[in-house]
Amino acid sequence: MCARFLGWRAALATLGVAALAGTMFAGVVLPRDLLGQLKLLGDKGRVAHVTILERSGVRAPWDSEAVLTRVKVRVVDAFWNCKRGDEFEFYSLGGMLDDGTTYTTTISPKTQLTEPGRNVVVFLTRHPEIASAFGEDVRYLPSFVEIYDVQRGLGREPTILGKGQGAAIEHNEKISELSDAMTAAVKQLEKRGG
pLDDT tens per residue across span 135-167? 999 999 999 999 999 998 777 889 999 999 889
Read off the pLDDT of residues 103-137 as tens digits, 9 standing for 90 and up.
989 999 999 999 999 999 999 999 999 999 999 99
Q: What is the signed CA dihedral for 107, 111, 116, 122, rounded to 10 degrees?
A: -20
pTM attached to this predicted model: 0.82
How do the domains of the chain map onto residue ranges? 1-30, 34-192
User: Phi and psi (nearest 5°) for 128?
Assistant: -55, -45
How many Å apart are CA 133 and CA 136, to the nearest integer?
Answer: 9
CATH 2.30.30 describes domain 34-192: no
